[in-house]
Structure formats: structure tokens, C-alpha cells
Amino acid sequence: MKSQQLRKLAPELDSLRLGSGWKIDELSKPQIIVESSYGHSHPGSAHLDKLVDEAGIGIKEKGGRAANYFVTDICDGEAQGHDGMNYSLVSRDIMAAMMEIHVKATPFDAGVFIASCDKSVPAHLMAIARLDMPAIFMPGGIMKAGPNLLTLEQIGTYSAQYERKEITEEQFMVYKRDACPDCGACSFMGTASTMQVMAEALGIALPGSALIPAHLPELKETARKAGEHALGLAKEELKPSDIMTVHAAIAGSSNSLLHLPAIAHELGIQLSPDLFDKIHRKIPYLLNIRPSGFWPGEYFWYAGGVPAIMEEIKEFLHLDVMTVTGKTLEENLKDLQLNGFYKNCHKYLPALGVKVGDIIKPLHTPIKAQGAIAILKGNLAPEGAVVKHSAISPRLMQVTLKARVFDCEENAIEAVLQKKIHPGEAVFIRYEGPKGSGMPEMFYTTEAIASDPELVETIALITDGRFSGATRGPAIGHVSPEASEGGPIALVENDDLIRIDIPARTLDIIGTDSIERSVEEIEKILSERRAHWIKPESQYKKGILDIYTHNSVSPMKGAYMEFFM
């Protein structure tokens, strides 16, 4: 094995291992790195030390020696509302790079990678793909809902209500107190939950392991199994490139369109945004989980989790693909039918008064006939833009709106909360793309709109930034090319007419000064505006955001840094 070969090249290695607490007989065993985002940064990572311990037990029981390494993550929720959010997306790339350093600098035969949340899961998957070593991903699970099924994404709504004096400070504090009752990913189908699902769908996590409620014993049991399984991967030399070669049915986060292309890039694969659109046109939306659906995220696993969704959309899947179990997807699904997996999941439903069909709809009676995501293109977004149309009112599926332009989110949210935005307007927030400010989320602005009954069905938010996985309402993001690169979004002016046609997948500037113009007139006007456009000076002169904003690629490609490639 690799670890034994490198022991011969680095004679100090044994001494340093022994000084770290290893025993003599452990030096000759398979050496397994256990990477995790454990830390006291937020509920999605604070409990991962327990899963690290369980994975280590599994490794030891199968004759290996575990070594625990940590790269903790920040929390998008804690970064909301201030410039900390600018550091969110770049943290994904830095975490992946740190894990690469850990593995490349020290000899290991396989790895167990453990994470729960928005940037840590894609970071671990990018590292797994980049390293291409025998590896298994262990999802960190999901938190349970609070009283009255309260979940964290609702806090944005209550915050907007408090700002508008619709609820008292005391009421608001009760909601904040109860929104996160334990550890795990936030209990809705946001980015964290979506990426746990993607890890299992990609075949790099054990079947049924995504989104196990963190308070259940099954989560620790699965972590131990993951540790045990790592030994088999090391011996068989089964690599991620043999495996990582479902999104529509779950109404997953639009941020996955940033993360999946970035993961694919590590494998030398280019994922086109048009492919995502094609898949979402074909696969129906089945999962009745927040924010697009009704139930909290923990209910997904009780209904059978990822395998149950796969059973419903089986006719669309490549069942012969290899997975981390060493078996095909079809073999894994058959095993789950026989080993009591579904019976074990479903045993929690009676106490909740919920049935499987309330959570996962059958393929022939879906929530919607198409998936949740659409890629829009047009003269406003030549490379594309992303919309989660499962969360949009039918009234906004085909609409013409008047532009209200803001060059930062702070000014936009103030205008929304102070009732300065009116029905029939398209709120633009620009210079918030990867090269602009690091591509922060626009969560508070979308929640302020979604919680306003007058605006939620009458306006849209359009940005070159991105949205939280918790976002609901009329939001179009990832507009590319971004404003900082001189994309058409930089040229939009107040009172331009914006045509949104989600069924036709188009996003266009069709008029100026509130008057519709011909295509030729619009082209001439935009050309004249472009001639006078001046690229803003970067706000970052040092540090990681200076590096990121100079080296990130388009959101349509994954917003990763080519600096590292």
C-alpha cells in the first residue's frame, strides 16, 4: 500500500507517528485519513467529532489505523447580513485545497470525508474528485424541526416581519430561540441538504446515508460502517473516478449548479448549464419538502430518503453505474428492498401523523410535471441565468417588468423594507458575482420580498449574485456574464423593460424608458451604453477575496478558481 511504500522513503515518518500516539504495530496497518469539517462554527459541524470517532472505530475493527484531520467551515447563516457572506463561496475552494494538502503531504491509503453543510460538502466532494484516492463520503445528517415544525429558513421571514413592525421583539426572540433545536444541516432542502443528496446520488456515499436525522442512532451506525468500508476501498483501490461519472425530483438548491460543475471539473468533465435545464424539463418534481414544499427536511429520510426518490424515477436513471459499495446502483436498490432499510425509516412516521405519500409523491402524480430549476438565456444573460421556478407564482412565469437598479444588496433591501419597490418592477442587484464581491447570497432581500404579500407575486429579483438554498419567491440569479465583467446586466438602467419567460427559458431587455423597442433598437442602445461603461475598481486589494475575484470563472462553469488548477 502507498503508506508502506512512503514509510521507506521518509524514515522520520514512523517516529513522528509514534510521537503522535500511534503504536508500533499500527505503523504497518492500512492508514486511513478521516477528514471532517468538525468545529464549533455552527450546528452542522459541531457534532461531527462523534461521527469521526465512529468512523475511527469502524476502521480499527477492520484492521486499519485512522488519522483525524479537520478543516472546519463557516456558516452561511452566520455570515448573512454583513460582508462575511462574501467569504462563503471562496471558502469551498480553500477547504478543498487544504484537504488536498493534507493528503498529498502525508501518506494515506484511503479516506473517509465527513461534512454536513453548504460549502463543506461540495468542498469535500471536490477534494475527493481532485485526489482520486479510494474514498467514501459520510453525510453529517440533518437537524430536527423545532416546535410547530419551525425551521431556520423561516427566520428570514420573521425578521422582515419584525422590521415592518408586524411582530414584537419578544415574538421574534421566541422564533430565534426555537429554530435550531439540535445539530445537523438545517431542516429544509437548501444547499446543505441538496449536496448531501448529491453525494449519495453520485455514488460516493453509502446508500441511504444522506440526511439521516442527527439525533437518531442510525447516523452514528452509518459513520461506523463508512469507516469499515474505507478499508475495503483501500484494498480494492476503487477510486472516485470509477464512480462519480437526481437533482430535479427533489426541488434542490440552485447553488448545486455552482457546486456540481466545480466537482465535475476536478474529474475533467464539463457540465453544461443546458444539461441541467434538459434534466429538469424531463424529471418531475416529487418531494414535498421546504422551502418549495410543506414538510421539514428531516421527514425526507423518514419517507425513505434518496433511495425512495430513486425508486420513483428509476426509469430515468443509469442503473448500471458503479458506486462506492462496489456494486451497481441497481444492486444497491435491490439490497435496500431486502435488508429492512425502508421499514426502519418508515417506523418514525406514525408518531408524526404523516404518510410516505405526503412527503414523496408518486411519479405519475407529481407536485409539478417538471423539475424545479430552469436556465434562462437572452440578451440580458447570454451565458445563462438560474431560476428556481418551483418557488415562483404562476403570475410571474411570463411577465414584463420595469427595472429598478441597485449596485449592492444593502440599498436594495432597504428599498424593499421601506416600501419603495412597487408591483410590476424588477429589482436588480449587480456587481455581486464572483469577480465583483465574491458572489454572496441575497437571502434577506428575497425573504423581504417573499414575506410581502403585495410584492411576492408582482415583482422579481434579478442578480449576478446567488441565493440561499432556503430562497423562495421570484428570484433569478447567476446572471452571466456578470456586471464586473461588463455583462449586459451592467448596462441595465432604471425603467428598462425586462421580459421574463420561464416556459420559453428567456430573459431579455425589450425596452427602455418604459417603452418597448425593436431588437435592433435594443442592440444599438446597449452598444452605446457599453461604450460608456467603466469597469469598477476592485474593492479588494489583499487577502483571499483579492485572489478569488481575480481568478474565479463564470457561475455557469462553477465559479471555481482556475488559480488552483
Distances (CA, A) of 502 to 309, 387, 505, 507: 26, 8, 5, 8
Residue 236: CA count within 13 A, CB half-sphere: 15
How far is CA 183 from its chain centroid? Answer: 18
DSSP string, 136-192: EEEE--BPPP-GGG--TTHHHHHHHHHHTTSS-HHHHHHHHHHS--SSSB-SSSSHH
| Of 424 and 153, the one with more pLDDT | 424
Is 464 in contact with 431 (CB distance < 8 Å)?
A: yes
pLDDT (tens digit, 9 = 90+) per residue, 262-307? 999 999 999 999 999 999 999 999 999 998 899 999 999 999 999 9
**pLDDT tens, position by position, 101-129:** 999 999 899 999 999 999 999 999 999 99
Active site residue 468: yes
* pLDDT (average), residues 392-403: 94
Residue type, 218: E
pLDDT for 564 beyond 50:
no
- Phi/psi-derived region of residue 474, left when phi > 0, alpha when psi is between -120 and 50, beta in every other case: beta
pLDDT (tens digit per residue) in 127-152: 999 999 999 999 999 999 999 999 99
Which pLDDT belongs to residue 157? 86
pLDDT per position as a tens digit, 150-191: 999 899 889 989 999 999 999 999 999 999 999 999 999 999
**Average pLDDT in the chain:** 94
Catalytic entry in 468, 480, 552, 554: 468
